[in-house]
Amino acid sequence: MSWIWLVIAGAAGIGAYLLGWPTWSGFVARRRRDLNTERYLAWRGRAGERPPDPRLTDAERRRLVIAGGLALAAVFSIVGFFTYL
């Protein structure tokens, strides 16, 4: 019966990764933009649309909180697995 704990831990860990990694990488990519180039292009009148705000949006923050909860559930499931042995 202890394998159920491993299944729960695996599912929660995979869910946390699939939910959190794209959100976090998008946030990091927005922060790494070259703002000087964008300002120069805007000054020359060749800028595209306004770049998105580099801060976390509410939806991204919510996704990261859910991913953190899933990661915490995975850790507790691993602890439950080793305790149940």
Count CA atoms closer than 13 A to 59's CA, side-chain side.
3
Print the domain residue range for 41: 3-84
pLDDT, position 52: 66
Indicate the pTM of the whole model.
Answer: 0.77
Q: Which letter, b or e, does each residue of 19-46 get, where b requires 16 or more Cβ atoms within 10 Å of its Cβ? A: bbeebeeebeeeeeeeeeeeeeeeeeee
Decide if pLDDT at 51 tops 90: no
Number of structural domains the chain divides into: 1
Instruction: Please check whether residue 69 is in contact with residue 19, taking contact to mean a CB–CB distance below 8 angstroms.
Output: no
User: Residue range 36-63: average pLDDT?
Assistant: 81
